[in-house]
Amino acid sequence: MFQVLLCDDEISVTNFLKNSIPWESLGIENIHTASDGREALAVLEKNQVDLLITDIRMPRMDGLELLAKVRQTTPDTHCILLTAYGEFEYAKAAFRLGVDNYLLKPIQVEELTETIENTVENMYLHRKNQEVLFRENILRRWLTGSIGEDELGERSSLLGDINIYQRSYCAVCMSKAEHSISLSAFTEKCVPELSRVYDCLHVWDNQGYYVLIVSGKEIDREQLAGVLRQTARQLDISDKIRIAAGAVAEQSENLCVSYQGAVKLLSSPEPPAGTVQLVPDNSRIEADPDASIDYVNLSPIIQKAIDYIHKEYANGVSIKDFCAKHTITTAYLGYLFKKETNTFFNNYLNTYRLEKAREQLVNSQEKVNTIAEKNGFTSTSYFITSFKKYTGMSPQKYREQNQ
* Nearest residue to 271 (alpha-carbon basis) of 281, 284, 262: 262
Using one digit for the tens of pLDDT, what is the confidence trace for 66-110? 988 988 888 889 999 888 755 666 667 767 778 888 888 888 899
Residue ranges of domains in the chain, CATH in brackets: 2-126 (3.40.50.2300), 149-283 (3.30.70), 295-402 (1.10.10.60)
Pairing state of beta strands 276-278 and 241-245? parallel
- C-alpha 339, offset from chain centre: 18
CA distance linking residue 379 with residue 377, whole number of Å: 5
CA distances 32 to 14, 17, 18, 75, Å, are: 9, 11, 9, 19
Q: What is the pLDDT along the chain (403 residues), one digit of tens a residue?
A: 899 999 999 999 999 999 999 999 999 999 999 999 999 999 999 999 999 999 888 888 888 889 889 888 888 899 998 887 556 666 677 677 788 888 888 888 999 999 999 999 999 988 888 888 888 999 998 998 888 777 787 787 778 766 777 678 899 998 876 665 677 778 888 888 888 888 899 898 988 889 999 988 888 888 888 888 888 888 887 777 888 888 888 778 888 888 988 888 887 766 556 567 777 654 455 555 565 566 667 888 998 999 899 999 998 888 888 999 988 888 888 888 888 887 888 888 988 899 899 889 988 999 999 999 999 998 999 899 888 877 778 899 888 877 6
pLDDT of residue 282: 47
pLDDT of residue 280: 62
Beta bridge partners of 7: 34, 54
Sequence-distant (6+) residues with CB within 8 A of 14 are 6, 7, 8, 33, 34, 35
